Structure 1
């Protein structure tokens, strides 16, 4: 399985040696991971150093180096320049995509996101019928901002009336930040591998956001992090502990229904990115594949992620 490597202890040095990523402290090796197994390296700790050889080796394998702030949200990323063999044509099509296509693509993403939110609520026994109705109301480009209307209903139902989504807060918000960072790194890697540029978004367009397209792709999958966070809280985990990090890292191998049967979350994200590239080139929003929301029974599998192997 591709691994998410989290560096959370200060003073570590990361390097590459004979096909392995070596983690050392005071020149003494404390761990190693095969480079071919690494999907992303996430650095949370301070005083961490790394060699250029390691960053090059990661880039050659399509893996990314992600740097996070104290709130567990990404602040910088190192992505490979080489992506898909048809990268030039796909990036050109991405850049030249007209607003009508972008608005139709965004509509499909938001419909999927709202339906996944409904599935998450159903899995916890909360009222979810209004979310089917909200999904049907989403127009091209979401001019009525149905996404925000759904969010205003979703968070109190899922997390309680007193919950407020705040990226700078501790507790549940810090857990969400970390889970989204895992997903974001997965999406950034997928769009680069598909020959797309992660900073040119369909909807997200902040000039300072190097993840704009990854932030578009991530939207339907966010409820998986939300549900896992809820389960961690129920188990008494109120902060980003090593156990919580392992649970979120295992999320990338969660089974989902794909186009041809069961697949992993990582493969589903890659498929979304590949079909998005195809949609840019064809000019047809319907070429974008988005996974169907899992059933309540399928989402129950999230509980297994809380158990260390």
Structure 2
């Protein structure tokens, strides 16, 4: 079999070898028509670029690391898909790190960047995954990095986020407008920034409506469906039960609805349920789940786009991008039945 080289691709596509190399390594820098000619030649010849050799010449790995607390979660899966789509277009491979909320795993994946195995990192946990020297400015120690979902408490970290507190207020206002005053909250892990912000929004909406916050109505889950089921069981055992439940994730809302169904309660006739995220299953439930939509595809895409700029040495990069949430009204919420 004859080995095809970059020069062969250049001759066939009518461009220079340097343009072929640029098209394969950084396609975003090449015009659409040029990319089309080069990729047509690549497809026709079956050319396979030597990425290892290229990384030695450029001192780049063409890899990025994505650090997630749980890659099986549907929210994270949707974000990962968008990241991979954007990374592939730019000639990068994605190394996926599932930390399982283990701080040591954070550091392990962070080391991939500092050791040169990856050129940048996307962090979806609230921790910087590197050893930081407190005697030196933080901004001088950070590699190309973008944070999302669970916010890292630092002004020097580039972020793509939503306003979790405002999203929670939207959910609560919907239930309040339906006449509900006994509204429970099934929250996520207490120490996560998203949980804290959503809990603040829950309390803010009640206080603004002149309703006292009842801590008996606040149950802690772990963002998973089983914890939603168990939380709903606890709420049903109360002498004074809630007429509506705001779950801080769709997974927990689905678990709560399953519990209500098992105990012969009607949704939303007896209890209204609202979630947060708008995962795929939200619209497939029966009844369909009312929820607060996060723009998950947009989050993944923008995270990767900003990281690409940072890895290319672009200094004029958005530091803080806030994306909007949206109330999606379906069938799981309804007016208070007196």
TM (norm. structure 1) is 0.30
Higher CA-based Rg = 2
TM (norm. structure 2) is 0.28
